[in-house]
């Protein structure tokens, strides 16, 4: 893999894939080709609609491969948050239902849960991430958590959480924004019932791409929250489409879906495929942690993913430090309320990137 294949990286230490990943050149080329076609050819006709359907099929299959699931179990969305919303808006909530979550969740998950509390009187219980399993009780209706916490990169034990939840009749909704493309994901093995996918982060797709995996035995209890032409067989209101495609979130631009599929396919074409890509990223993360641990004044939190949380001694304004690092072509982010910086380590991350971060921190200090 050449970093030249990742447009936008250039001479930057690109350490913020947890927000937006770099686009592979293959994805940019595929998107540009579709844009040129839209600009020069009619966007109607049988061939156009056949190509549109094939584009959706390719994106659905690509997302399925990323989580080890068949395409018929994947719905297409514009974001992880939309996937969460499709689930929370599609279930029959009652006043007093209890959703258990953690104190380290992203607003993309917490926002939809807040609306459940406001609209239906659902009780949202928040506990430390380490206490989720112990907090599950017979009153729990759903457990809604991240697979990888956006704050510090911790990986939650989803299979254990799911066993405890299912034992009391609760379902499990997972925010997969920081997991898919970052760590290996076998979605069925996690025990989840609903698992959301972000396209623009670790899968390095364009903005506005994502997916939702729905366990086959949960299909009929989840109602389509955004019903429309794509919800039904042949577009006629009545019989729902087979599989998770009935939950598709409308007509996502083909350019976006083409870019997402091309990004996934580019990774799969690398030596060792996606598994090799993830192994390389994990090796880079271990090496980055070793190098960061040697830097005076840095405090690292433990973690087992490509997200690394660090605190810089004497940095009273982390946002100002992030801005100063960006001026030196080092791209990281803060985590609000923690006083810490977050680094994202991918398969393209080099020792030079980590050294550039260290030098930029010292220079800014």
What's the pTM? 0.97
pLDDT at 59: 98
In the three-class reduction of DSSP (H, G, I as helix; E, B as strand; rest coil), residue 20 is classed as coil
Burial class (CB in 10 A: 0-12, 13-18, 19+), 8: middle
Buried b (16+ CB within 10 A) or exposed e, 310-349: bbbeebeebeebbebbeebebbbbbbeeeebbbbbbbbbb
Q: What pLDDT shows up at residue 221? A: 96
For residue 195, give both structure tokens. 């698992």
For residue 320 the two structure tokens come to 């100002």
Which two three-digit tokens encode residue 351? 């020792």
SS3 198: strand
Cβ of 117: how many Cβ atoms within 10 Å? 14
What proportions of the chain, in percent to the nearest 5, are helix, strand and coil? 45, 20, 35
Separation of CA 48 from chain center: 30
Which of 41, 43, 74 lies closest to 57 in space, CA to CA? Answer: 74
Domains of the chain: 3-23+273-364 (3.90.1150.10), 33-268 (3.40.640.10)
Tokens matching residue 239: 């019989």
- In angstroms, rounded to a whole number, what is the distance separating the alpha carbons of residues 326 and 361? 11
Per-residue tokens: 146: 């991240």
CA atoms of 48 and 248, how far apart (whole Å): 20
Give the Cα separation of 286 and 280 in Å (integer).
Answer: 10
Longest dimension (CA), the chain: 65
What is the distance between the alpha carbons of residues 316 and 96, in angstroms, rounded to a whole number? 42
**Ramachandran category for residue 143: left, alpha or beta (phi over 0 → left; psi -120 to 50 → alpha):** beta
List b or e across 63-95, with b for residues whose CB sees 16 or more CB atoms inside 10 angstroms: bbbbbebebbbbbbbbbbbbbbbbbbbbbebee
For tokens 């086959």, the residue is: 216
Sheet architecture: strand order including 298-300: 298-300, 307-312, 340-344, 333-335
Contact indicator for 336, 303 with CB cutoff of 8 Å: no
Q: Output 41-45 pairs: Cβ under 8 A, ≥24 positions apart.
A: none
Question: What is the mean pLDDT for each group of 10 consecutive residues in the chain (365 residues)?
Answer: 87 96 98 96 93 96 98 98 98 98 98 98 98 98 98 97 98 98 98 98 98 97 95 92 96 97 98 97 97 93 95 91 96 94 97 95 83
Residue 176: strand pairing partners: 197
Structure tokens belonging to residue 276? 């090799």
- Residue showing tokens 């990774």: 267
- Give the dihedral sign, CA 82/84/90/94: negative
């Amino acid at each position: 893999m050449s970093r030249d294949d990742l447009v936008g990286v250039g001479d930057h230490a690109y350490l913020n894939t947890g927000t937006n990943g770099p686009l592979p050149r293959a994805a940019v080329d595929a998107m540009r080709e579709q844009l040129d076609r839209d600009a020069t050819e009619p966007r109607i006709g049988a061939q156009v609609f056949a190509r549109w359907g094939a584009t959706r099929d390719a994106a659905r299959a690509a997302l399925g491969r990323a989580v080890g699931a068949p395409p018929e179990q994947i719905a297409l969305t514009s974001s992880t948050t939309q996937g969460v919303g499709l689930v929370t808006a599609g279930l029959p909530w009652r006043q007093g239902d209890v959703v258990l979550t953690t104190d380290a969740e992203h607003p993309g998950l917490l926002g939809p849960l807040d609306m459940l509390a406001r609209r239906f009187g659902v009780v949202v219980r928040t506990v430390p991430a380490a206490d989720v399993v112990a907090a599950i009780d017979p009153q729990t209706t759903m457990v809604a958590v991240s697979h990888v916490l956006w704050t510090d990169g911790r990986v939650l034990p989803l299979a254990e959480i799911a066993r405890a939840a299912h034992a009391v009749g609760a379902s499990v909704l997972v925010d997969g924004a920081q997991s898919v493309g970052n760590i290996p994901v076998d979605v069925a093995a996690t025990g989840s019932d609903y698992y959301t996918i972000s396209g623009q982060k670790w899968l390095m797709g364009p903005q506005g791409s994502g997916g939702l995996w729905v366990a086959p035995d949960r299909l009929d209890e989840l109602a389509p929250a955004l019903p429309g032409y794509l919800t039904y067989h042949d577009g006629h209101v009545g019989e729902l489409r087979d599989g998770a495609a009935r939950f598709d979130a409308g007509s996502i631009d083909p350019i976006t879906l083409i870019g997402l599929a091309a990004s996934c396919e580019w990774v799969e074409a690398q030596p060792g495929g996606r598994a090799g890509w993830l192994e390389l990223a994990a090796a880079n993360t271990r090496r980055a942690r070793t190098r960061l641990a040697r830097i005076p004044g840095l405090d690292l939190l433990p973690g087992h993913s490509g997200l690394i949380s660090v605190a810089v001694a004497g940095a009273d304004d982390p946002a100002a430090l992030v801005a100063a690092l960006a001026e030196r072509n080092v791209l990281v982010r803060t985590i609000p309320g923690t006083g810490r910086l977050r680094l994202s380590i991918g398969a393209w991350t080099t020792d030079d990137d980590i050294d550039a971060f260290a030098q930029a921190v010292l220079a800014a200090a």
